[in-house]
Structure 1
């Protein structure tokens, strides 16, 4: 989606694709840039690794709660207004993380940063406002392909910044990025959804219409379990890399690029083939690839040949699969009730991120000295299998309804 020259500051025009990429990318950057710093942050604050790992799981948990409100609010008051308020709050919370005197205060402000989950949810809703289901899957694929550059570079940059400036450098970068993206959003993102003259509670009463749709649940569960693999990885990979393989923050950040590179490739495939193959087939193939990558990882781990490069390299396939599943499942859930696209995006995101928070916390709890990497691998395998079964349920129901 492009604009003629001079369309910046037009509050009624759709945004550039680059703007959507950066808005969604800020949410992704906030989630992962500091991951290589987690062990050093635990030392700085004088707490166990599991305490600092809460900066991932608590962040995800608050994001899930917020997204229950994000959708109805954006349907009622508009995507633009809700995004700008959320970004302002994110900037304030980022200042708080830098000034925190102890781990408890840091975690409070870290939970405040979760408000930026609004950016991920509403960037999807903006796409659905502009185009139909098939085009939405394709456009989401391209948007998230571009966005995947951020999580690809985030941990790499985060590891280097940690070694040069300490962990605070990463949160200073988030503060700067928040200010810049907020300015871009104000300048370029016009309103794409008409406001609805109803109360927030009336909007919340739309949820039963979505709850009653088996297709909505199928798409939500498929995307939730697929992303659950990734969120468990976020919770457990810093421990595995540091405690099991003895990696430095820079080396650990570099190995995170496997997942992001695969995600970029999967999103490219979504952008290229979703309109031709349809969302259900793309989700099915992506779920198979994710599961296959984890089966390969379990096999090399059992055989005793899982070096750090091999262990993290298997996440290339997880990234490819997720890059195919997530944009297509998202397009599917948003198209079940197009007039509730914002509500569906918020509700689906809440379920997805809430489940991810639980899996991330579980991974952090089970990974203790002496456990090895198996608890993380088994959690991810179970989640990937559940994602595959969920899309099978959608396909079977649609076949039965045609019959």
Structure 2
């Protein structure tokens, strides 16, 4: 499952070092290039509303294989496109392929590990692998760009997509439970389930913080501080390294604090990061020390939160896991892309204010919802 957990994120992060140059390459505006980042997040979430129910109906395997093929073809097409509208269309197709692969992967995790005593550890492991991509993706993109040019970045994505497709053809069995399928009544039950919404909003706060970070970091570190792309990539990766280290601790922390306790503490770390970012913006900005250390704290909150949100949101819906995963990721994608993009567009994107606004508001909202739920509906320990 690992390649499909990684590819959807890699499609975003490996592209970051060339984002400042893409307006000139595509003969378009910076806003259009920003649109390729936002649309990717939207389609990655909304596309799962199609592929999740489809995986409940026809199975995880065909959805996964089709998504991998679409991702590879779209990535190759982007390498040979210099017309902005076509680039955006292929970017949407690439995200759709990533959405199909992602929903099939998480539905398979739910199928196989739903009753496993170490289910949280499985999600934490996938989270650690996902955190690995932002650590190496921008560095890899910068190195490939310097050595072979920007087109090679997308050809590399196409090659990895085809390699993942080949190994899945040989090794990925069908895991869809017998009798599962699209049940409209269960969709209503999912949307009325308070823990589902609470954990989904927590997941949105965590992933949205990272989305705003990678939308603003190039402008802050390469724009305001004039760092070279490789230097930017290495500094950018420090946040992901903190996520990886924290993910290694997620399972024991979840056993100690419970899902509810991890969610509340994760939001507390995000709020602390937003507070420090605001203080740094007012006293020492622009500076790497005003921008990056608070993001290391945010990274800890992101990892702790993401380790428990999927299991907490999906626990009650094993019979329609594909649909539940789709709604979970769709809502996260919509909330993240819309609220995150508004923060980036309405506030100066080369400052810390978009991060302060999004992270602070999201981190304050989620604990309020947690406190309104009975402890025994959240997590194994309910702490």
Cα drift, residue 44 of structure 1: 1.4
Partner of 2:2: 21
Unaligned segments of structure 1, at least 5 residues: 1-19
Query: Of residues 115, 122, 126 in structure 2, which corresponds to 1:139?
Result: 122
Partner of 1:43: 24
> Structure 1 residues 398 and 334 mapped into 2: Cα distance closer, same or farther (>3 Å)?
closer
Q: Residues of 1 paired with 2:103 and 2:243: CA distance?
A: 18
Q: Residues of 2 paired with 1:147 and 1:224: CA distance?
A: 16
**Contact 1:86 1:118 (8 Å CA) reproduced:** yes
Partner of 1:110: 91
Partner of 1:215: 195
Q: Secondary structure at the match of 1:121?
A: helix
Q: Secondary structure at the match of 1:314?
A: helix
Structure 1 residue 127 corresponds to structure 2 residue 109: yes
Deviations 1:170-222 (A, max 9, x none): 11111111111111222222112235475xxx434431011121111111112
Cα drift, residue 258 of structure 1: 2.1
Q: Secondary structure at the match of 1:193?
A: coil
**Contact 1:232 1:360 (8 Å CA) reproduced:** yes
Deviations 1:270-296 (A, max 9, x none): 233323432111112222112212222
TM-score (norm 1): 0.87
Partner of 1:169: 152
Query: Of residues 305, 322, 326 in structure 2, which corresponds to 1:342?
Result: 322
Equivalence map 1:290-369=2 (5 Å): 290-304=270-284, 307-366=287-346
Q: Residues of 2 paired with 1:376 and 1:261: CA distance?
A: 19
Count of equivalent residues: 377
Partner of 1:158: 141
Partner of 1:16: none
Q: Residues of 2 paired with 1:364 and 1:168: CA distance?
A: 27
> Structure 1 residues 31 and 97 mapped into 2: Cα distance closer, same or farther (>3 Å)?
same
Q: Which moved more, 1:35-44 or 1:298-307?
A: 298-307
**Contact 1:98 1:172 (8 Å CA) reproduced:** yes
**Contact 1:83 1:122 (8 Å CA) reproduced:** yes
Q: Residues of 1 paired with 2:225 and 2:178: CA distance?
A: 52
**Contact 2:180 2:319 (8 Å CA) reproduced:** no
Q: Which moved more, 1:281-290 or 1:344-353?
A: 281-290
Q: What root-mean-square deviation, in Å, do the aligned CA atoms of Structure 1 and Structure 2 show?
A: 2.3
Unaligned segments of structure 2, at least 5 residues: none
Structure 1 residue 383 corresponds to structure 2 residue 366: no
